[in-house]
Amino acid sequence: MNEIIKLNHVSKKFNNELVLKDINAILHKGEILGFLGPSGAGKTTTIKIITGQLHQTSGEACIFGIDSKNIDETIYEQIGIVTDMSGVYERLTVYDNLRYFSKIHGVDKKEINILLERVGLLEHKNKLASKLSKGQTQRLVLSRAILHKPKVLFLDEPTSGLDPSTALKIHQLLLELKSEGMAIFLTTHNMEEATKLCDHVALLNDGEIVEFGTPHQLCLKYNTEKKYHVLLDDKKEYVIHQTREDLSQLNEWLLENRIETLHSCEPTLETVFLKVTGRGLE
Ligand SMILES: Nc1ncnc2c1ncn2[C@@H]1O[C@H](COP(=O)(O)OP(=O)(O)OP(=O)(O)O)[C@@H](O)[C@H]1O
């Protein structure tokens, strides 16, 4: 079955406050779906509804074709969840943390070293979890969530607060997992991360999906100005707008072979979010 998650007109109220408004989204096998939005937009609430930890006020949320309100704990064999750094036993080593979960999930212990190698923690396997850095802990939490090879992985801000090189390692791993067929539901504030990883993104603002599409589609949709950035052979830089004057200047430079680099300046996902909502992400 290709459809892993389906949200159909999902709304959620907490004490009469509507925090999710008519949410629709689908996640297929081998795809990464990003829910992007500022703090309080409703990202974690959405994960909790899909995984049956909370119930929606109206609408329907399904996982593997089953209504999330009706799932039981057997579903946890097929899903992995990383919502924070919890769930690590600080007094156990890295290896023993995973050994513990391998027993629960009936995973062959040979898989542990393979996974540790993959996430770059093999050299730290005998370290106590309490002695790990933040990035290493994050990778241990992620390892625990994928040890049993779930069909879908929920990631709430997987790289927040990590240094760029650890974040890059996590990105590479997520893209590998996707290419192996895992579906990934990702929440993030980080628009660059979303652009790089996600097949589709939902821009969430105050509990509402204000835009949905591929990152590329959304950037093109809001590329209203159609500007170009030009670097000339004398190292001078110019921004070319869609005016007759600018375009004929560009044409002249092209004919004179004076252009060193030429880039279109379509907006980033961050600029799109700003345009759509009138607010930033932090
Ligand atoms: N158990 C709860 N009771 C009452 N209100 C809640 C509860 N859980 C979340 N909320 C409210 O619902 C809204 C959405 O919260 P949610 O945690 O889903 O946001 P988020 O997008 O995940 O934010 P962050 O990026 O900070 O994690 C917020 O206004 C929050 O205060």
Measured between alpha carbons, how far is 107 from 245 in angstroms, rounded to an integer? 67
Number of domains into which the chain is organized: 3
Given a cut of 90, whether residue 161 has pLDDT beyond it is no
- pLDDT at position 282: 53
Tell me, yes or no, whether 138 and 162 share the same domain. no
- pLDDT at position 77: 87
The residue among 92, 37, 69 whose CA lies nearest residue 202 is 37
Domain membership of residue 200 (yes or no) is yes
Tell me, yes or no, whether 138 and 22 share the same domain. no
- pLDDT at position 19: 96
- pLDDT at position 132: 92
The residue among 189, 207, 182, 186 whose CA lies nearest residue 198 is 186
Of all helices (H) and strands (E), which one includes residue 184?
strand 183-188
- pLDDT at position 163: 83
- pLDDT at position 194: 93
Residues with CB under 6 A from ligand 1: 14, 19, 37, 39-45
| Sheet bearing 58-63, strands edge to edge | 66-67, 58-63, 3-14, 17-28, 208-213, 200-205, 32-36, 183-188, 152-156, 79-82
Tell me which residue has its CA closest to atom 17 in ligand 1.
Answer: 44
- pLDDT at position 85: 63
- pLDDT at position 1: 63
Burial of 104 (0-12, 13-18, 19+ CB in 10 A): exposed
Tell me, yes or no, whether 73 and 7 share the same domain. yes
Domain membership of residue 275 (yes or no) is no
Residue 202 backbone phi and psi in degrees, to 5: -110, 125
Token pair 């802990």 is found at: 137
- Counting ligand 1 atoms within 8 A of each CB, the residue from 11, 43, 82, 281 with the most, and so the one to mutate, is 43
- pLDDT at position 32: 97
Domain membership of residue 112 (yes or no) is yes
Residues contacting 190, CB < 8 A, separation 6+:
159, 160
Tell me which residue has its CA closest to atom 6 in ligand 1.
Answer: 14
The 10s digit of each residue's pLDDT in 66-91 is 999 999 888 888 999 987 767 789 99
Tell me, yes or no, whether 121 and 170 share the same domain. no
- pLDDT at position 253: 96
The residue among 201, 205, 193 whose CA lies nearest residue 219 is 201
The 10s digit of each residue's pLDDT in 199-229 is 999 999 999 999 999 999 999 998 888 899 9
| Sheet bearing 228-232, strands edge to edge | 237-240, 228-232, 259-264
Token pair 């949320």 is found at: 61
The residue among 129, 160, 126 whose CA lies nearest residue 38 is 160
Ligand 1 atom at minimum distance from 37 CA: 21
Tell me which residue range forms the domain holding 257: 224-265
- Counting ligand 1 atoms within 8 A of each CB, the residue from 44, 159, 189 with the most, and so the one to mutate, is 44
- pLDDT at position 98: 95
The mean pLDDT value of the chain amounts to: 91
Burial of 150 (0-12, 13-18, 19+ CB in 10 A): buried
